[in-house]
Amino acid sequence: MLSRIAESLFWIGRYLERADGTARILDVQLQLLLEDPWVDEDTACRALLGVMGSEVPPDTRLDREGVLSLLAVNRQNPASIAYSLNAARENARRAREIVSSELWECLNTTTTRMPRKVASERVHDFFHWVRERTALAVGTNETVMSRDDAYHFFSLGLALERADMTARLLATRALTEVSGPSWTTILRSCGAYEPYLRTYRGVSSMRNAAEFLLVDRIFPRSVLFSMNRAIDSLNALEPRTERIGAVDQALRVLGQAVSSLEYRPISEILVDLPHAMEGVQRATSAASEAVKQRYFPTQVMPTWAGERV
């Protein structure tokens, strides 16, 4: 497969999941800001932008509307929903010979209907719409795409981004000591509340909720499940035949992160949750860079120096 096609499919998966994860995080955080009059809005907004990896304006006072504009509908901000959906569509255009007509039409319709402004009373509806559209795009791909290398590149990008976004969502739990989202709210935002209740038979606790979202082996949005899915995709792309340990850098990084989560007591992770989640984000970023270097390195353009290339 051409590296251009592989890279586009990888980033379609990442951008779709990024739009979905950003919508989930903003839905939770902005609703909390609206409901709690005692929280310092500027501090909470700056912390949220920091967790989302977005540049924080140094002198401008931030509020709910400003964050919504920056992370939801701003087409120039790489961390925004609008940017992610448009980037997914552009990558689909680059890989048009591989991308199905159904997915192409879905992405076209989504970017065309993307609003430039969201009224304050329609914020929740907007995030719900984003989640529906990304679910439709991912589901369309799952039902019509052959399980070949193209599918595994798409799945790899989606899995890495999902691990990263779940880690960011968990990190928002520590944004503010008193008014941060409850574990029930975080579970609901991941669509994990009902599976969690079935798994723990209705026994609710902070430890159980964190354990479910971090290391549950069969819930598809847990960090551990997403990382293992990324490892499965890497193994499918290049089955291992060597007798020694992992030689692929992306596999090595993800394997270390999985081991760190799997064999560390959940009580220790909860004590220092923000730093633990930063570790997950660093691992997914390093794995993404390793995949880029391995499968689609940037072509170095020749530069002229005198008469020599």
Could you report the per-residue pLDDT of 50-92, keeping only the tens digit for each?
888 887 777 788 888 889 999 999 999 999 999 999 999 999 9
User: Does residue 167 share a domain with residue 139?
Assistant: no
Name the average pLDDT for the chain.
Answer: 88
User: Does residue 107 share a domain with residue 10?
Assistant: yes
pLDDT class of 307 with cuts at 50, 70, 90: very low
User: Does residue 207 share a domain with residue 97?
Assistant: no
pLDDT class of 45 with cuts at 50, 70, 90: confident
Residue where a domain terminates, one of 91, 114, 145: 145
Please give the pLDDT value at position 299: 56
Residue where a domain terminates, one of 113, 145, 177: 145
Mean pLDDT of 278-293: 94
Q: 308: which strand partners? A: 305
- Distance between CA 13 and CA 75 in Å, rounded? 19
The first and second tokens of residue 64, run together, are 């709910």
Please give the pLDDT value at position 205: 79
pTM of the model as a whole: 0.90
Give 161-212 pLDDT, tens digit per residue: 999 999 988 887 765 555 556 788 788 888 888 999 999 887 777 888 889 9
- Distance between CA 166 and CA 188 in Å, rounded? 13
- Nearest alpha carbon to residue 108 among 127, 133, 132: 133
Torsion angle, alpha carbons of 193, 257, 14, 64, to 10: 60
User: Does residue 154 share a domain with residue 78?
Assistant: no
User: Does residue 118 share a domain with residue 156?
Assistant: no
In a domain, residue 251? The reply is yes
Q: Is the pLDDT of residue 308 over 50?
A: no
Q: Which of 112-126, 149-163, 242-256 has the lowest mean pLDDT?
A: 242-256
User: Does residue 156 share a domain with residue 124?
Assistant: no
Mean pLDDT of 214-220: 94
Please give the pLDDT value at position 244: 79
State the total domains in the chain: 2
Cα-to-chain-centroid distance, residue 188: 17
Contact 216, 222 (CB under 8 A): yes
Terminal alpha carbon distance of the chain: 29
User: Does residue 231 share a domain with residue 116?
Assistant: no
pLDDT class of 281 with cuts at 50, 70, 90: very high
Range of the domain at 16: 1-145
- Nearest alpha carbon to residue 154 among 88, 90, 220, 201: 88
pLDDT class of 235 with cuts at 50, 70, 90: very high
- Distance between CA 171 and CA 173 in Å, rounded? 5
Please give the pLDDT value at position 180: 55
Contact 151, 229 (CB under 8 A): no
User: Does residue 159 share a domain with residue 116?
Assistant: no
Please give the pLDDT value at position 13: 96
The first and second tokens of residue 67, run together, are 């964050």
User: Does residue 153 share a domain with residue 135?
Assistant: no
- Distance between CA 298 and CA 53 in Å, rounded? 24
In a domain, residue 18? The reply is yes
User: Does residue 124 share a domain with residue 163?
Assistant: no
Contact 227, 220 (CB under 8 A): no
Please give the pLDDT value at position 72: 95
Contact 262, 215 (CB under 8 A): yes
For 47, 139, 179, 232, 251, the CA distances from 240, given in Å and listed in that order, are: 42, 29, 48, 11, 11
In a domain, residue 91? The reply is yes
Sequence-distant (6+) residues with CB within 8 A of 245 are 252
- Distance between CA 20 and CA 24 in Å, rounded? 6
- Distance between CA 122 and CA 74 in Å, rounded? 17
Q: Is the pLDDT of residue 302 over 50?
A: no
Q: Residue with structure tokens 């060597």?
A: 242
The first and second tokens of residue 245, run together, are 């340990």
Sign of the dihedral through C-alpha 263, 267, 273, 275: negative
Give 5-24 pLDDT, tens digit per residue: 999 999 999 999 999 999 99
In a domain, residue 308? The reply is no
Residue where a domain terminates, one of 111, 145, 179: 145
In a domain, residue 259? The reply is yes
User: Does residue 39 share a domain with residue 52?
Assistant: yes
Q: Is the pLDDT of residue 254 over 80?
A: yes
User: Does residue 241 share a domain with residue 157?
Assistant: yes
In a domain, residue 309? The reply is no
Q: Is the pLDDT of residue 303 over 70?
A: no
In a domain, residue 302? The reply is no
In a domain, residue 307? The reply is no
The first and second tokens of residue 292, run together, are 């880029």
Please give the pLDDT value at position 140: 94
Please give the pLDDT value at position 37: 73
Q: Is 79 helix (H, G, I), strand (E, B) or coil?
A: coil
